[in-house]
Structure 1
Amino acid sequence: MVQTEKLRKEFSLRLSQALDASKYPPHGRGIRLARELGVTSKAVSKWLSGESFPRQAMIESIARLLNVDYLWLQHGSAAEKGESGLINALFRRGFPLLDWKDVGHSTVLTDDNFKNYAFYASGSKLDSNDAFWLKVKDDTMTSPVGLCVPINSMILVETDKQAKAGDLVIVQLAELDEVTFKQYVVDAGTNQKYLKPLNTHFKPIELPDSAVIIGVVVESRMSFVKPDLADMTYS
């Protein structure tokens, strides 16, 4: 607990330094920053007093607004000292929940409209920050035994990850104008690639040359309560 409080205080000091460098006045700076970020002044007040952290996406927005390095703003010098793992656990990385109709359109989620999306935290260690959540829309990946990803599960899709045989993937089928969630399978004898449903009531389909693997599913969760929003202020 003492270590967490120390990190909060250090973040608040870096935020104050960034505000000073950007010529924000000593009085009313919290209200001005809140207005420019589109958040409550109470949230900013907690950041400045060291009571809480903003989520990572918000830290990136603050860094852009104040023209500072977001890694410095988030981590300070701790990453250089090998403490980044602890800090990453405290600054939980949030990823947007997309509609299926938005998947595959790289311009949908931009810096200008990220506030339109709900952000959910991940417990996974990702190779990159390019990822998004989807809610499973059908029962094609529901299996009575073994691996099972039932309808309404939340799945995290990492777009920079290279798909390998056996991975669960999100694929854009241009010919069918469809985005689908299946298991990526490669026939060892013919090298033919397939998309396999985990539900045995559905048949595998050959992966057409025109198909695009958008990303690999790296996390799945099924919750009976609403997941924690990563765009909340962590205390």
Structure 2
Amino acid sequence: MNKSKRKLTESELQLSESLRRIWLAKKGELGLNQEKAGAALGITQGAVGHYLNARIALNTETIIKFAQLLHVEPSDIDPNQVVKLGRRSNPSATTEDVLQGVSNASGTQSPIPPHRTTVPLISSVQAGGWAEVVDNFQPGDAEEWRETTAKVGPNAFALRIEGDSMTSPAGVSIPHGSIVIVDPDVEYTNGSIVVAKLIDVQEATIKKLVIDGPNKYLKPLNPNYAPIPINGNCRIVGVAKKVEIDL
């Protein structure tokens, strides 16, 4: 099911334009490109581009991180920001080092924001062929881009669950409509929740992988559904790292 991306508000567009102006003015001086910025900020190179090109709205944490990276105050990006940053004398310091010096308006130490990255939300059909398309994936190919605290690699993606085969009456449950963050670079093991592509099915599916000696199964968490035996007829696309639910 296609989902329209939320359009940024006028104020969000203005923030993005302000960041972009500062980026263009400072990146040469600081020896930055989008790849280096992503590594320092803990996000993907693509996410840096989305922030700079007004595809994703900036939030306070991201503004603070970009301000530290670019050696400016958050208020230079957003005049409404009251956070003041300690000037950093070491240009090679990491974002984590810099955030240690962030103080809020009351003068108390501000905690380091959790690691965040941005991944594309794709369809089950796209997930089935992810290995073939990931290198040529374009921003407009995703339903939307999701910010997540899951620690995943650069090829990670998000998948929306459809149906109730992974809804469990007890223990881990992944209900209809929830979002699963998937990392194709993680090695799967017995018991992993995986996204898998069966040879004769166009869409990918998400199930629990069960390895019992020489036998392997894709097991739904809902006991009303039968396990699916696999034996050379299945390719594991990636391993689920986190489940997120929009209320």
The alignment's TM-score, normalised by the length of structure 2, stands at 0.58
Tell me, in whole angstroms, the C-alpha distance in 2 between the residues paired with 1:52 and 1:169.
43
Tell me, in whole angstroms, the C-alpha distance in 2 between the residues paired with 1:21 and 1:124.
29
Tell me, in whole angstroms, the C-alpha distance in 1 between the residues paired with 2:29 and 2:121.
35
User: Contact 1:155–1:221 at 8 Å: present in 2 too?
Assistant: yes
- C-alpha distance after superposition, 1:151-188 (max 9, x if no partner): 0000000000000011100001012334111000011x
- Give the match for residue 207 of structure 2: 182
Instruction: Please report how far the alpha carbon of residue 97 of structure 1 lies from its aligned counterpart in structure 2 after TM superposition.
Output: 0.3
- Give the match for residue 77 of structure 1: 92
Equivalent pairs, count: 173
Select the residue among 132, 135, 148 that pairs with 2:173.
Answer: 148
Counting only pairs closer than 5 Å after superposition, residues 7-86 of structure 1 correspond to structure 2 as 16-19=25-28, 38-39=53-54, 50-51=73-74, 77-79=92-94, 83=97
User: Contact 1:53–1:91 at 8 Å: present in 2 too?
Assistant: no
2:211 maps to 1:202: no
Instruction: Please report how far the alpha carbon of residue 112 of structure 1 lies from its aligned counterpart in structure 2 after TM superposition.
Output: 6.7
Instruction: Please report how far the alpha carbon of residue 100 of structure 1 lies from its aligned counterpart in structure 2 after TM superposition.
Output: 1.2
Gaps of 5+ in 2: 1-20, 32-48, 78-90, 101-110
Tell me, in whole angstroms, the C-alpha distance in 2 between the residues paired with 1:198 and 1:102.
23
Residues 140, 108 of structure 1: CA spacing in aligned structure 2 closer, same or farther, 3 A cutoff?
Answer: same
User: Contact 1:141–1:150 at 8 Å: present in 2 too?
Assistant: yes
User: Contact 2:150–2:181 at 8 Å: present in 1 too?
Assistant: no
Identity of aligned residues (%): 26
Tell me, in whole angstroms, the C-alpha distance in 2 between the residues paired with 1:145 and 1:21.
52
Higher relative contact order by CA 8 Å / sep ≥ 6: 1 or 2? Answer: 1
Select the residue among 106, 110, 130 that pairs with 2:155.
Answer: 130
Instruction: Please report how far the alpha carbon of residue 38 of structure 1 lies from its aligned counterpart in structure 2 after TM superposition.
Output: 4.4
Tell me, in whole angstroms, the C-alpha distance in 2 between the residues paired with 1:15 and 1:92.
24
The aligned amino acid for 1:155 is V
Tell me, in whole angstroms, the C-alpha distance in 1 between the residues paired with 2:98 and 2:235.
34
- Give the match for residue 71 of structure 1: none
Instruction: Please report how far the alpha carbon of residue 52 of structure 1 lies from its aligned counterpart in structure 2 after TM superposition.
Output: 7.6
Instruction: Please report how far the alpha carbon of residue 51 of structure 1 lies from its aligned counterpart in structure 2 after TM superposition.
Output: 2.8
Instruction: Please report how far the alpha carbon of residue 115 of structure 1 lies from its aligned counterpart in structure 2 after TM superposition.
Output: 3.9
Give the superposed CA RMSD. Answer: 3.8
Residues 177, 208 of structure 1: CA spacing in aligned structure 2 closer, same or farther, 3 A cutoff?
Answer: farther
Instruction: Please report how far the alpha carbon of residue 133 of structure 1 lies from its aligned counterpart in structure 2 after TM superposition.
Output: 0.4
Instruction: Please report how far the alpha carbon of residue 110 of structure 1 lies from its aligned counterpart in structure 2 after TM superposition.
Output: 5.2
Residues 92, 84 of structure 1: CA spacing in aligned structure 2 closer, same or farther, 3 A cutoff?
Answer: farther
- C-alpha distance after superposition, 1:90-124 (max 9, x if no partner): 67210010011111334545567214432111112
Select the residue among 177, 180, 196 that pairs with 1:171.
Answer: 196
Gaps of 5+ in 1: 1-11, 23-33, 55-75, 225-235
User: Contact 2:115–2:151 at 8 Å: present in 1 too?
Assistant: no
Instruction: Please report how far the alpha carbon of residue 207 of structure 1 lies from its aligned counterpart in structure 2 after TM superposition.
Output: 1.3
The aligned amino acid for 1:201 is N
- Give the match for residue 244 of structure 2: 221
Tell me, in whole angstroms, the C-alpha distance in 2 between the residues paired with 1:53 and 1:182.
47
